[in-house]
Amino acid sequence: MSQVPLRVSVLLSVQRALWERVTPGLRGVTVTVSSTAVSGRMIFDHVPTDDDVEDCSLVETHIIADMLPEITVTLAPVGIEPPAPRDLFSGEEWVYLRKEPH
């Protein structure tokens, strides 16, 4: 990771962690990266189910495994039902964004 910028490492890690975890109800995945922390949201089109929470935990675990020990990783499952917009919080960027009608 020392030769690859942290942001790039995080984006690649999240994309890999999402393999087989993108369900029809997943609207988007965000991430915020700092030198000591990675945080993000898995945004669902419904109140997250137990399966969604488990998927989020597994994605978080895979990201943790890719990071240096001093970097804290937190990923939260949240429900934002359409037609509510999927807005980014300050400092966030999209890692995954589902196609939806405008």
User: Which tens digits make up the pLDDT trace of 25-39?
Assistant: 999 999 999 999 999
The mean pLDDT value of the chain amounts to 96
Whole-structure pTM value: 0.94
Confidence of residue 102 (pLDDT cuts 50, 70, 90): confident
Q: Which CATH number fits domain 6-90: 3.30.70.1770, 1.10.10.410, 1.20.1740.10, 3.30.70.120?
A: 3.30.70.1770
Residue 2: per-residue pLDDT:
52
pLDDT at residue 1 is higher than 60: no
Which residues contact residue 17 at a Cβ distance below 8 angstroms, ignoring those fewer than 6 apart?
A: 58, 59, 60, 62, 63, 66
80-86: long-range pairs with CB below 8 Å, 24+: 80/27, 80/43, 80/44, 80/45, 81/45, 81/46, 82/27, 82/45, 86/27, 86/28, 86/43
Q: Give percent helix, percent strand, percent coil of the chain, each to the nearest 5.
A: 30, 30, 45
Residue 3: per-residue pLDDT:
67
Which residues contact residue 90 at a Cβ distance below 8 angstroms, ignoring those fewer than 6 apart?
A: none
- Dump pLDDT digits (tens) for 66-90: 999 999 999 999 999 999 999 999 9
pLDDT at residue 61 is higher than 80: yes
Domain boundaries, the chain: 6-90
Task: Give the pair of three-digit tokens for residue 23.
Answer: 């369900």
